[in-house]
Structure formats: structure tokens, C-alpha cells
Chain A
Amino acid sequence: MNRIATVVVLLLLLVLPLLTGGTYYTNLASQILIAAIFAMSLNLLVGYAGLTSLGHAGYLGLAAYISSWLMVKLGWSHASSAAMAIIATTVIAGIFGLIALRATGISFLMITLAFGQILWGLAYRWASVTGGDNGISGLTRPRPFGLDLEEANNFYYCSLAVFVLVWIAIAILVRSPFGATIRGTKDQPRRMSALGFNVWLIRWITFTACGFFASIGGIMYVYYHQFISPHSLSLANSAEMLLMVIAGGAGTLMGPVIGAALVMLLKNVASQYVDHWVTLLGLVFIFIVMFIPGGIVAGFERLKNALSASK
């Protein structure tokens, strides 16, 4: 059943540009796929390790700024700047993890929030490198295998390929024995510790992996927009990513993807009518937390069970 559903969804995603019949929707689909990469990577930490982070947009910023800076200012090639950005972001995530994992729970959330704000502050105030409020522009999209990514459909297929690769990598990770130990540290850290697992190390690896996958999203993000500014690193953006995870369903493979699609669709539809997306984001946040705490995937199943029970 699940396999069939996956194949159907994949086929739909493959023919999507033919169905939408316009670059606007194709571009929106690309944005959703990129947002889903962020949500899936954050889900590793929030859903599987039980560590709620509010600094995830920082990784987007790190990867995007490092690759743009290397390319625009130093003239590196696409491949080498992207590789360097991913490595550097992962290393920085590892260093952040050393400090942030001194704590868990609410304190962890506060420390990651502070990290996110440090990076935002750096992007904003270290103007000689980051261009301050103006950000860095002038970036071009790469041409892998001679494919012109400036064209919306081609970029969509490239995003889809990256998305599927990240999805598979994360699916393998969470279904592996190591994935089971990650879940173990969430539910029963003391028992895991008593069983001889190094709970701290497992969390640190998860934290670093989360940064690694997010840096891939960051590269795609900057290729899509061809521009990066401090605005992309704001707390609201981190919160948006967290909302995708929670709204869809933390700790499931599918949840964050559905959440990403919903949040991005809502954002695009809403911004056509009102220019106050942030108010709506706040209200949706409160609503989800109060009424559908397990996320939409779990909410639907509850609803289905309730309906079948009442029959």
C-alpha cells in the first residue's frame, strides 16, 4: 500500500510541470521541494532525537552565504564552492553541537535560538563580507551535464532529484539500527545510557547530520533565488521550518514534506490577498500547537479512527 502510494506520488511529481502549465507553479513546486529538504533535515533533530531547534535557518544562511561568497567574491566554480559550503556548514554544525548539547529541552531550544540570532547578526552587521542588509547577489545557477538550470522546468527536475536523494538518505538513516538508537535517546535517554550507548555522541551525530542535510537545502535555496540576504536567516524563517515539521507530523518521514507543502502553499496563497504573512504564521502556529499537536498526518488518522468508531 505504502509502496504503491510512493510510486504514484513520484510519478505525479515527475509529470507535474506538464500539468501546471506555467512557470509560476513549477517554481512554486521547486520552492516546496527545497523547503521540504529543510523540514526533513530539521525533523531528524525535532522528531527523531526529540531536540527542538529554533536556529535551523542559520544553516540555510551559512551554506548560502559561504557558497555565494566563494563564487561571487573569489570566483570559485559551482562545484567547488558548493562542496566547500557543505563541508564548512557541517563542521560549524558540529562545533555548535558541542555547545548546544550541553542542554536538552527548553534550554536547548534557547541556545539554538541564540545561535540562529548570532548568524543573523553576523550576516546583518559584518557588512564588509556579507554585504549587510543588501546581501550578496550576482550568483548564477550551475549547468550540470550541460543542463540549463535557468529554465524553470530543468530547475524543478534538479530540485526533485536532490530532494529524492536526501529523502532516501534520511529514510535509510532513520530505519537503520543507528536510527533506532536516535529514537531511543529521545524516549529513554537514561535506559539507553544504562545499556551502554553514548547518548551524547548519538545526539551530536544527529545534530551534525541535521546541519549537513540542511546545508544541501541551503545550496539549492541560493541557486533558486540567486540572492541571499539576512532576511533569510531570521527567526521567523527558523520558526517557519519548525512549523512545517510540527504541522506535518514530527518523527514521520512523510510529515515534514506535507508540512512544507502546506506552509509554502499557504504562504503563497495568503500573500496574494494580505501582506501580513507573519501574523498568519503566528496564528497557524498557535492553532496547530493547541489543536493538532501531533501534526496533520496523525490528526487525520485520529479523525479517521474517530469516524470509523462512531459508525
Chain B
Amino acid sequence: MSFWLIQSLNSLALGGVLFTLAAGFSLIFGLMRIANLSHGAYFMLGAYVGLSVIEAGHSFFLAILAAAVAIGLLGCIVERFILRRLAGNSLSQVLATLGVAFVIADCSLWFWGGDPRPVSPPSFLAGGIQIMGLTFPIYRIALVIFSIFIALGLWMLLDKTKLGVMIRASVDDRQMAQGIGVPATKLFSIVFCLGAALAGIGGIAAAPILSVYPGLDADMLPIALVVVILGGLGSLLGAFIGSFLIGFIYSFGQALFPDLAYIILFLPMLIILAVRPRGLFGKISA
């Protein structure tokens, strides 16, 4: 019983982390029709930037802020100087993001070294909480709540603001949206920057449970791909449900079949592709 409860909390926490990664990826795909293959690298770099801020003696909160700003800025630069120059050629854009991913990953290895670096959670979230005789780590509970807040924030942004209306209109029908004066180029910048910042936040928020290591980017990118293919590209709800689904599948797979967890992770994606290629909640067919 305790195994199932604790694994469920782990699954929820991992799902929350995946959501911060997949939400941005999915929005960028929905709007710009490109798979941002540097998303895993943004996640890892966010974790490293946060780590450095914490090691310099600052608070965890400041680390999250620094990761968001730094990775958001980096996203803006990549979008402005690389992706925009390749506008209209989505394959080239995707390949360019792959190049960016390699540069980030290798430079991080250069700068922060090859050893895994643990990150401790902020002191008021350290330790565990006793419920029904079981000890649950507080940080994981906080992570779940944090990700739900991010989901709510994103939903408000997309559903209740003018910017959100423009984004949704462009996802649904880009040409029509441009035709009635939605500034596509500006939206691309905003969404790419926002998606990158979210990935950076996810990276440092996940660091206390995943730690930071070279190869974190290559571990996370395929999981993000699985989440968005499962949930449906361009759909925030799909990213949300997909993240928690994969969180459960991965955590339980890891605990029950450690050798094959990685394969089990990809099974739902294969089933979805065979049965419903556009994903659970997707509007764009794959």
C-alpha cells in the first residue's frame, strides 16, 4: 500500500515537471509548426543556471527567477537571429534548433563539468510530512501544487487575455488570423520566449528530485516528445493530461521493471499513433 501511495506522489511530481516542459513545447509547435528540439537543452540549462545562483548563496526563489529570465532571453535570441531568418521553412528551423541543442549541451558540460550535481530544495520545503503513518517528501507535494499554478496561469493567459485569443486564433488558423491583423512575428517571439522560460523554470524546479547532469537534456527531450504526441500537439489540456499520464507510467515502470522502463514509456505513444495519430486532444493532425 505504502509503495503505491509514495509512487503515486512521485508520479504526480514528475508529471508536474513534465508539464512545464511539454506546455511550452506544445504551444511552440501549435503556433510555429516547429518541433523545438532545443527544449530539453533549455530545461537542463535552466537547472544549471539555478544551481549556480543557489551556490552563490542566493535563495531558491531567486534561482527560479534567474533561470526563467536567462532561458527566456536565450530563447528570444535564438528566435530572433536564427529561427526568424528561416521563416517559412520549418524543417530548417527544426534542424537549427537541434544545432542549438548540441551547442548548449556541450557548453554546459564545459562550464559545469561532467559530474551529476545535486540541488537541495529550499529549507522550508525540505524533509517530509507524516500522513497516515507514511512520510511524504514535502518538496514533491509543493512541486505538484506549483505545476498546477503554472497550468492555471497559462490557462488564464490563453483563455482570458487578448494575447491568448490571438495565440489561439493563430494555432487554429494561422492564415486567417494573419489576414485579420494578428501580428504573427511578434506572437512567435513571445511564445518562443515564454516556452523557453517555462522549460528553464521546469529545469530548476525539477533539480531537487532529478539532480542536474550532462545528458539530462537528451533524457527529457524524448519524454517531452512522447507527452505532446500522446496529448496532442498544440493543446494545453493535452500537454497537462499527457504529462501526468507519462509521469505515472514512467515512475511505476521504473519501480516495477527497471530494465525496460524506457521502452514502457514509449508504448502509449506507439498505441496512440496507431489508433489516433493526432493525439488525445490534438487539433493538428500529425
Residues of A within 8 A of B106 (CB): 276, 278-279, 282
Interface of A is mostly: helix
- Of B35, B91, B101, B110, which one neighbours A276 at CB under 8 angstroms? B110
**From DSSP, what is the main secondary structure of chain B's interface residues?**
helix
Q: Which residues of A contact B258 (CB under 8 A)?
A: 125
Chain A: interface size category:
35 or more
Contact pick for B103, options A54, A102, A283, A289, CB 8 Å: A283
Indicate the size class of the contact surface on chain B. 35 or more
Residues of B within 8 A of A113 (CB): 37, 221-222, 225
Q: A100-126: contact bitstring with B at CB < 8 Å (1 yes, 0 no)?
A: 001101110111011001100110111
4 nearest A-B residue pairs (beta carbon): A282-B102, A121-B262, A285-B99, A282-B103
Docked Cα-Cα span, A276 to B262, in Å, equals 28
Would you list 18 pairs from A and B whose C-beta atoms are within 8 A, ordered by A residue? Answer: A52-B91, A99-B273, A102-B273, A106-B34, A117-B221, A128-B259, A235-B221, A239-B102, A242-B95, A279-B110, A282-B98, A282-B106, A284-B99, A285-B96, A285-B98, A286-B96, A289-B96, A290-B96
CA–CA, A125 to B92, complex, Å?
Answer: 33
Show the binding face of A for B, using Cβ within 8 Å.
52, 54, 99, 102-103, 105-107, 109-111, 113-114, 117-118, 121-122, 124-128, 234-236, 239, 242, 246, 276, 278-279, 281-286, 289-290, 293
Q: Are A285 and B102 interface neighbours, CB within 8 A? A: yes
Query: Which residues of B does A touch, CB under 8 Å?
Result: 29, 33-35, 37, 82, 85-86, 89-92, 94-96, 98-103, 105-107, 110, 218, 221-222, 225-226, 229, 233, 258-263, 266, 269-270, 273-274, 277, 286
- A282 to B222, Cβ gap below 8 A? no
Interface pair B102/A99, CB less than 8 Å apart:
no
From A106, A121, A286, B82 is in contact (CB under 8 Å) with: A286
Residues of A contacting B286 in the complex (Cβ-Cβ under 8 angstroms): 102-103, 107
Residue picked from B99, B101, B105, B269, most chain A C-beta under 10 Å: B99
- Do B101 and A282 touch (CB < 8 A)? yes
Of chain A, the residue at the smallest CB distance from B104 is A282
How far does the alpha carbon of A250 sit from the alpha carbon of B21 in the complex, in Å? Answer: 33
Instruction: Give, as a whole number of angstroms, the nearest-CB distance from A259 to chain B.
Output: 14
* A235 to B37 CA separation, bound complex (whole angstroms): 11
What's the Cα separation between A117 and B262 when bound, in Å? 9
A246 to B98 Cα, complex, angstroms: 14
Residues of chain A with a CB closer than 8 A to B98's CB: 54, 239, 282, 285
Q: Specify which chain A residues have a CB less than 8 angstroms from the CB of B96 in the assembled complex.
A: 285-286, 289-290
